[in-house]
Structure 1
């Protein structure tokens, strides 16, 4: 599969059915799900369903989360990219949400920031996005720091499934200033 984006350390490409093992390692880890509702997947079949859902988003919305792959080793690191959200979230609907999720062994290396920065550049300059939103559990210091470093503005705090989350927004002009 051809990559969509290349960074100094990463290839970013569509998630494929062959990513089941990497996705299972990612999403079965309770530490990864600490701020994601604490519901790690229990089986590879669940992962197949997630991959099918994401691949359907590519068809329906022309966008979806993408795989991050280590350029040197070919190892599956996690996912990043955009999701077009059509369900009501914090009084918003039909918006592009930036996200990222890494296997635990890749935490603390700046990979999420590198990948998200490249995705934002692609979203604003190739896909023509005018604004992008993101959210993070209020207690997830790592993700909140990344979003701030990327230039997102925290708009408010809201309740998501019983947990307080920060709601962020970034427009193209603000992104260009921090790039």
Structure 2
């Protein structure tokens, strides 16, 4: 892996390249975000125009500048195909389960790439980067309570389930955390 400032950061796993999102990713990101199945355990609001994806990319690029980290494009090394995004985000623009100003791990992959181990592979790379290179002390994550696949991935990666909570729409989410010391102890 190569580690430099966030905009130049490139992480590699055996099958994936993790790189900053670019405006040229808008079409692929739109394909991901307009799929209702992808939004089943999100907010049930698939994108309807590509401009929404462009705004997402611009938002993430601001996070790179302000926080030196954000969600990254996740690309298959073998084909160069954009399969979604993964990464660490510093949450300071809203309150989640009573928390703000925390590092959050998350991902979203296109449906054809589910159940192939890509999310687990990317998760391992991001946790290594976050704890060993960024020196993050504590990582949070939150998932829809019924999203068994994502809950399984976080648990397998070492995240500890803390509690369930309800958002403003009454949807139940799971709150997870992983401390650097626990991560390093289990490596």
> TM (normalized to structure 2)?
0.93
Q: Secondary structure of the residue that 1:67 maps to in structure 2?
A: strand
1:159/1:165 contact within 8 Å kept:
yes
1:3/1:11 contact within 8 Å kept:
no
Q: Distance in 2 between matches of 1:173 and 1:81?
A: 20
1:81/1:119 contact within 8 Å kept:
yes
1:40 aligns to 2:39 (yes or no):
no
Q: Secondary structure of the residue that 2:42 maps to in structure 1?
A: coil
How many pairs are equivalent?
179
Q: Secondary structure of the residue that 1:78 maps to in structure 2?
A: strand
Partner of 1:69: 75
Q: Secondary structure of the residue that 2:75 maps to in structure 1?
A: strand
Alignment equivalent of 1:93, drawn from 90, 100, 105: 100
Q: Distance in 1 between matches of 2:119 and 2:8?
A: 21
State the 1:176 CA deviation.
Answer: 1.8
Gapped regions of structure 2 (runs ≥ 5): 1-6
Alignment equivalent of 2:21, drawn from 5, 15, 21: 15
Partner of 1:144: 151
Q: Distance in 2 between matches of 1:27 and 1:177?
A: 36
1:68/1:76 contact within 8 Å kept:
yes
- 1:164-175 alignment runs, 5 A limit: 164-175=172-183
Please tell me the root mean square deviation across aligned C-alpha atoms, in Å: 1.1
Q: Distance in 2 between matches of 1:48 and 1:162?
A: 29
1:100/1:112 contact within 8 Å kept:
yes
1:27/1:41 contact within 8 Å kept:
yes
Q: Secondary structure of the residue that 1:155 maps to in structure 2?
A: strand
**1:111-138: CA deviations, max 9, x gaps?**
0010011001000111110010000111
Partner of 1:82: 88
Q: Distance in 2 between matches of 1:131 and 1:168?
A: 10
Gapped regions of structure 1 (runs ≥ 5): none
State the 1:177 CA deviation.
Answer: 3.1
State the 1:2 CA deviation.
Answer: 5.5
Q: Distance in 2 between matches of 1:113 and 1:178?
A: 16
State the 1:61 CA deviation.
Answer: 1.0
1:150/1:178 contact within 8 Å kept:
no
Partner of 1:130: 137
